[in-house]
A and B are shown apart, each in its own frame.
Chain A
Amino acid sequence: MTLSITDVTKRYKIRVTRAQVNALNGVTIDLPAKKTLGIVGESGCGKSTLARMIVGLEQPSSGTVTWNGEPIFDKARNMLSSKHSNIQLVFQDPYSSLNPRQKIGDSIAEVLTVHHLVEKDAVQARIAELLTEVGISPELAHRYPHQLSGGQRQRVSIARALASQPDLLVLDEPVSALDVSVRAEVMNLLIDLRERLGLTYIFISHDLSMIRHISDQIAVMYLGKIVESGPWDSVLENPQHPYTKALIAAMPDHTEVGNNAYEAPLKGEVPDPASMPTGCAFHLRCPIAVPSCSTNAQTLREIEPNHQIACQEVK
């Protein structure tokens, strides 16, 4: 079982200005089963579009997304192919990902009954099992989402996703909206579930420290493209692309205290995706850019086994 994303692009038209936005621009990913791919990048890099595409909420403008060789998007139903309800998404905001008028037990029960995953008389037992699995007391099944804390709601969202017996979970900033003191628990839960259930994860975040903690492979995205990818330790211990280096340098680090030296690693802002720079999209902010970077589009090339970057200036 593999997730294969091959040369995927996604273009939107902005209604008013008629401008074209390239949210994704030739993204290729191959992720073997039971591995975790961390996708890191700043706003506008396309990581959320990619997430929506992997779960079939969006159709690629070109290229293919397949799971076990079968396309994920069902053109006829305009959504996730029914074969692939085993690909699930966990959202960032635990306050909007559960139906506010539905008890949490019912939201899980619905998944079980719609897909006939268990016998009718076993539904309650399975709900209890799933809630226990994510560390929620089954007694809370009769609560409404607003009666739970953010961390508890995120666990319920995870339990609901697990109810459909997924192989692949797309985790879109799953701990970013949570209080700092409960993030670690949810991270530990995700790691435990991965081991116990043999899940494959796509972990999307802007927080490099969380990406570092959970990923086997890492892809760094900038303006719709992957600029560096590889095993987590190669990418983070031995970053090659200037953008990856800048991201690592920009991570607020609590272990280095009181040196009171903030140096901004990058000048300028992320360009508007509607007016993409020519050549390498990063060249306007890049500390090592040369004139030809504004004309030469960059493609990924291997610099060490499995470690790829899209930059001509790194030898």
Chain B
Amino acid sequence: MSKPLIEISNLTVSTTDDNRTLVNDVSFSIAPGEAVGVVGESGSGKTLTALSLLGLLPRGVHATSGSITYGGKDLLTADRETLRSIRGNEIAMIYQDPMTALNPVMKLGAQLIEVIQSHGGDTSNAMERVLTAFSEVGIPDPKRAYESYPHEFSGGMRQRVMIAMALILSPQLLIADEPTTALDVTIQQQILALVMQERRKRNMSMLWITHDLGVVANLVDRVIVMYAGRIVEVGSVKEVFTNPQHPYTAGLLASLPKASDKNRTRLLSIPGIPPKPWTVGESCAFSPRCSKADQQCRSSLPVLATNTHTDAACFHLMGDNS
């Protein structure tokens, strides 16, 4: 495998006030051109992990240990200036709510020009570049969009503008935090098709954060499953979805209704709720909800280990399924 574009090692994120661990010892890397999906429920630490990559952790939360190596620098210890030059330029991000990324009182064209300027880009042909960016993301009338304000656009169109904004400086890595969750399914499909097309064209790496297994199944190369602040399973998208080894991943997949199930059999459910990451201690966080759990699971922490199908952190792998 080629040298990774970005490498996250032993990342731990905690609250500043009471030192509660929210992301615990997370390590993974993204290769150039690779698309990685991070799947997890609310509180699993997936969004905080993504925000760490850009030094954008919210107030009251900070990375307590680990490193994020990008271009020979550690982004966790990098100064503001370094981070600023990387943000937008080399690593860009799109969010669930485009309004958090767009200034409501500024015309869209001006906002994109500002992005180019802020990174010392060539501004002589900036307007042209913005119009091209708009048409690339499928905005029907780029000239009109250039002169429009965010509120004049629908949610799907705003999402396209945000994608244009993220892509205009041709980043190496695009981080997407559930950008389609708030959209209607037919619009979601349009956005996914757009992202897929642009990624291929630019050979861009991607980190896609979502709670929706269906979305990443056809979007990414590799899937990371997070639970209670830790990675519980990593593998190629094919293996994770067809041969999940961690009982949590397997349970999650089994709990979804299947379009092929003519008899509509009762859904398999996972009892209980995910624990708060800081309450887990030296045990498998999933053990209270796991049918395979035994004394070992409750008293020691399984580490991520490679097996035939995936890497999973579990003492009792699901085994062969196919």
Q: A181-B270, A184-B267, A188-B269 are in contact. Are A253 and B41 (CB under 8 A)?
A: no
- Within A186-203, which residues are at the interface with B (CB < 8 Å)? 187-188, 191
Chain B contributes a number of interface residues (CB within 8 A of A) equal to 49
Complex Cα spacing A264 to B185, Å: 10
Q: A188-B267, A251-B259 are in contact. Are A179 and B211 (CB under 8 A)?
A: yes
Q: How many Å from the CB of A244 to the closest CB on chain B?
A: 12
Complex Cα spacing A152 to B274, Å: 12
Q: Check if A103 is an interface residue, CB within 8 A of chain B.
A: no
Complex Cα spacing A151 to B271, Å: 11
Complex Cα spacing A253 to B185, Å: 12
Please determine whether A206 and B251 come into contact, CB atoms closer than 8 angstroms. Answer: no
Please determine whether B269 and A184 come into contact, CB atoms closer than 8 angstroms. Answer: yes
- Within B171-218, which residues are at the interface with A (CB < 8 Å)? 184-190, 192-193, 196, 211-215, 217-218
Q: How many Å from the CB of A283 to the closest CB on chain B?
A: 15
Q: Check if B157 is an interface residue, CB within 8 A of chain A.
A: yes
- Within B10-53, which residues are at the interface with A (CB < 8 Å)? 41-42
Q: Check if B121 is an interface residue, CB within 8 A of chain A.
A: no
Q: How many Å from the CB of A288 to the closest CB on chain B?
A: 16
- Which of B91-99, B100-108, B237-245, B306-314 is near enough to bind chain A? B237-245
Mark interface residues in A243-268 (1 if CB within 8 Å of B CB, else 0): 00011011111111111111111110
Q: How many Å from the CB of B227 to the closest CB on chain A?
A: 9
Complex Cα spacing A152 to B196, Å: 38
Pick the residue among A184, A254, A260 that contacts B214 (CB under 8 A): A254
Please determine whether A253 and B184 come into contact, CB atoms closer than 8 angstroms. Answer: no
Please determine whether A250 and B186 come into contact, CB atoms closer than 8 angstroms. Answer: yes
Q: Check if B124 is an interface residue, CB within 8 A of chain A.
A: no
Q: Check if A270 is an interface residue, CB within 8 A of chain B.
A: yes
- B interface residues, Cβ below 8 angstroms from A: 41-42, 154, 156-157, 184-190, 192-193, 196, 211-215, 217-219, 236-238, 241-242, 248, 251-253, 255-260, 262, 264, 266-271, 273-274, 289
Those 4 A-B pairs whose CB atoms lie nearest each other, nearest first: A252-B214, A184-B255, A42-B184, A184-B269
- A interface residues, Cβ below 8 angstroms from B: 42-43, 149, 151-152, 179-185, 187-188, 191, 206, 208-210, 212-213, 233, 236, 246-247, 249-267, 269-270
* 7 cross-chain CB contacts under 8 A: A181-B273, A184-B269, A252-B218, A253-B217, A257-B238, A262-B196, A264-B189
